[in-house]
Copies of this chain bind each other. A is one copy, B any other.
Amino acid sequence: MDPLLVQALAPVLRLVTAIELVAVIAAAFSGFAEARKKEMDVVGVFTVAFVTAFGGGTLRDLLLDRRPFFWVDHYEYVIIILVLTILVTPAMRIAHRLVPNWAFVTADAIGLGFFSIAGMALAIQADMPWIIAAMLGVVTGVFGGVLRDVILNEVPMVLRDGKPYALASFLGCGAYSLMLSAGLPQSVALWSAAGFIVVLRMVAWRQNWTLK
């Protein structure tokens, strides 16, 4: 890539990285919860957390042909998941009933919001038309959870519970695109669009909105 362009993009990429870290940790926790429900062993817990955390971003990188993958570039992410697995697995066996359901829904919503916008931002930088970029945002946001459910041998929740999950992601990506067109700075657009998805998802879950 043109070095000048790289320099211009550096702050955006730093932002995307910060957002990704939040999303990785949140997604890993939703993976821990699901894996424990299915009584997996340590390797299973790690794998499910890994897949939930990195599945969406890896598919995005594959589709955009970006190498190295974001978790190869930032392999501290992998170590974080590894350490969390070792710390969290025994804790979960004890805590089980103490961790309320909303904590996991929140972790999952944060993962959804931040991955979606990180995915869309990178797709826009790769000069994709906005509808494809939004689609890649949604894929990045939901694919980790889909992969988690496929591995756990369930029909992915996102495809059948009728809750606005992928839709929340899509609307947030649209909002991001509008904010950029309106000339708002990247950082504002990134954080507020990601936050918008998290809030929309949480409200939809609390209010029990259904699409069906």
Q: Which residues of chain A have a CB within 8 Å of any CB of chain B?
A: 38-44, 47-48, 62-63, 65, 67, 69, 72, 75, 78-79, 128-129, 131-132, 135, 146, 150-156, 158-162, 165-167, 211-212
Contacts and interface: CB of A to CB of B under 8 A. Distances in A.
Contacts of A156: 151
Contacts of A135: 78
Contacts of A129: 75
Instruction: Name the 8 nearest CB pairs between A and B, nearest first.
Output: A44-B159, A41-B162, A43-B166, A153-B155, A40-B160, A65-B67, A41-B212, A75-B132
Nearest to A135: B78
Q: Which of A41, A154, A165 has the most CB of B within 10 A?
A: A41
Given A41-B212, A43-B165, 6 more contacts: A42-B212, A44-B160, A63-B69, A72-B128, A79-B131, A153-B153
Contacts of A63: 69, 72
A156 B39 CA distance: 13
